[in-house]
Structure 1
């Protein structure tokens, strides 16, 4: 037997697979990468040596209102490390600057005080100005034109009122934007719900280039990059993290060039060859990305990329926050014809009529049409999981036994311990 650790919530669970039936373990080399410096030093070095940009301490001179866009509670960005170093760099030459942290929630719910403390730390939370973006609050948004896709570009007023816009974040493979980080701080981070919906339309989600690791020709990325340029995103600091959410790389500077450098670094570490199998076991990388079913499209997409058609995907995820979106949940709860009905309805929706969260429903329906999917959790209502067309199991052992009853006692396995971290070519 081969024992494999799978991230789950803030811990791990272990699955034992017969060695002769294990086709492969697909992992990002980032998880075994040894950085050349400490987390703080990596960020400091990136800030001191920006890519295609003056140093931030030079850029901020003469600017009164500065906005720092930061990720929300659903992203494992080590803000506690990055933000104090950003503030130090800014205040070294502009101690009087009026600085606002704008939390890029995109379509997500607002972060709780507890989540903000975990993200920023109590001291920074008490001493700095922190604003939560709300994509549905029309009074906080302003129109600045149209996207290449034709959609209206509405953005948080704080961005347009600022003298300088900076973003912190992290870079990982993204199932339809190619990679996270960089321009994604703007779209979907701090734009309107309507803007996000056009960008995440059925046509784009179904596009062959809207896949993990692909930027060139990706229509979703093209919109995002344009939005960031129109928002005048002047400087980014993006990090790369390992399985323990520790920083192993940092890239600062020009919004596009620094991001591309980080994507190259991630791509070289994360790319793996598929190992087709009857049963694929994966995860969403544990907390914070496995808090709800909505986020599971990420780990499931990796499973899809190496699972034989008609095979079974088992994803280990706490989902302690439930479905993650009422509109997303209703797609499944109200569909009498299952995944096919959902997919047929979504593909008839034109670009400008996109419904909230339909993209997640679309990707999951695509996967369910080809595979049986088990969610392993002891922290989520199993009936809710079944309402959404999944199978539910309380333990990994229970899921494996059930999967083998479907696929056969001699079924082959591939394991992707962290489905969010890999690009399966």
Structure 2
């Protein structure tokens, strides 16, 4: 028997499955990787050896207005480590530089002062000039042209008016942009709502290149990189982190070239080969990522990448906060025909994209092709309203999956943490 232990909330889901039924257990090596240097040493080393650019201190010489784009409260970037080192680099090159830290909220709510203190520490919050981006504040936005896709490229003035624009961030698998980090600091980070909505349009989301771990031919990435170049994002410092949110790898330099290096490291630890299976069991990585059903769509894309046609995916996500989005929930509760729903998404003009449409579209794509059994603490009726079958243990879910497939010997692939792997 193969014993499987899956993250679930702050605890685990456990089960034993006959060895002969297991087709694959797909795990990331990243969380077990132990670097030889400390977090600070890794970031310092990256800043001392930038890829494709001079050192940041050299780039800062003669640059009076410097803007550092920083992630917001929704991203676990270890800014307490990265930001002081970037500030030191800039001031070594130009002690008189006027530095602004621009918080890249994208279309999220504004980051509070308490959240800024938690992110940077009190010293930086008290002593540095920090501006929180607002995607709807037209007085702080400038239209600088057209993206390759045809959408308007409207970005924050503070970024555009900088003599030197740099960013911090982290690189992880992303379920439609391929990877987070790098160019995403600009789009969606400091873009207008109109620009973000256009970039996340139904046609792009429908592309088979808009998937986890895919950059080549990814239309969403293409627009993002173009916007970063147009904004003159000259330098990035990005890190890869483990499950404890600790830096295990760092890159610095050109917004594209340094990002490629970080992606290559991530691939070496997270990439796994697809093993098409009739049943795939996965999770959204436990707390804090599995608090609602909306967020759990992300791990479903990992299962999707290794499923046989017509298969069943079993998702374990505690979802103690319920569905996670009223519009998301309403969309599926009120429309039982997923095919019709998908056609409506695809018929939506790019400029009419609405918030969270992409999440609903990806979920609809999954429901259209596979049956989903959902293990959670959400109300069973909510799970059913979202076109899924509720369950409360792996054993119960497997019984239901076998009935759906009509095969008690169906092969099972297990992805313990569906948001930490790249299945290709």
TM-score normalised according to structure 2 size = 0.90
Pair 132,277 (structure 1): closer, same or farther in 2 beyond 3 Å? same
Alpha-carbon spacing, 1:248–1:381, altered in 2? closer, same or farther (3 Å)? same
Whether 1:21 aligns to 2:21 is yes
**Counterpart in the other structure of 1:390:** 388
Residue 159 of structure 1 corresponds to which residue in structure 2?
159
| Cα deviation, residue 181, structure 1 | 1.2
Number of residue equivalences: 423
Contact 2:59/2:93 (8 A) holds in 1: no
Write the deviation string for residues 285-344 of structure 1: whole angstroms up to 9, x where unpaired: 334443443333321111001122222222233445554444433422332x34222101
- Report the counterpart of residue 218 of structure 1 in structure 2: 218
Equivalent position of 1:201 in the other structure: 201
Q: Where does residue 365 of structure 1 map in the other structure?
A: 364
Residue 217 of structure 2 aligns to a residue whose secondary structure is coil
Q: Residues of 2 paired with 1:377 and 1:153: CA distance?
A: 41
1:4 matched to 2:4? The reply is yes
Query: What does 1:222-237 correspond to in 2, within 5 Å?
Result: 222-237=222-237
What is the Cα deviation at residue 400 of structure 1?
Answer: 4.0
Alignment of 1:234-273 (within 5 A): 234-273=234-273
Does structure 2 conserve the Cα–Cα contact (< 8 Å) formed by 1:328 and 1:356? no
Q: Who is 1:403 aligned against?
A: 401
Alpha carbons of 1:347 and 1:78: their partners in 2 closer, same or farther (altered >3 Å)? same
The whole-number CA distance in structure 1 between the counterparts of 2:108 and 2:291 is 12
In structure 2, the residue corresponding to 1:369 is in which secondary structure? helix
Contiguous gaps of at least 5 residues in structure 1: none
Structure 2 partner of 1:341: 340
Name the SS of the counterpart of 1:142 in structure 2: strand
Distance 1:154 1:364 in 2: 29
Closer/same/farther in 2, CA of residues 328 and 142 from structure 1, 3 Å limit? farther
Which range is displaced more, 63-72 or 201-210? Answer: 63-72
- Deviation string 1:29-88 (CA, Å, 9 cap, x unpaired) is 323333231222111100111011111112222333322222233323222222222222
CA RMSD of superposed structures (Å): 2.5
Q: For residue 138 of structure 1, what is the aligned residue in structure 2?
A: 138
Deviates more, 1:12-21 or 1:155-164: 12-21
In the alignment, which residue of structure 1 is the partner of 2:282? Answer: 282
* 8 Å contact kept, 1:165–1:232: yes
What displacement does 1:377 show?
Answer: 3.1
- Quote how far apart the aligned CAs of 1:213 are: 2.1
Distance 1:239 1:409 in 2: 44
Gaps of 5+ in 2: none
CA contact (8 A) 1:148 1:223 kept: yes
1:423 aligns with 2:411: no
The offset of 1:188, in angstroms, is 1.2
Asked whether the equivalents of residues 277 and 311 of structure 1 are also in contact (C-alpha less than 8 Å), the reply is yes
Question: Which moved further from structure 2: 149-158 or 83-92?
Answer: 83-92
- Normalised by the length of structure 1, the TM-score is 0.90
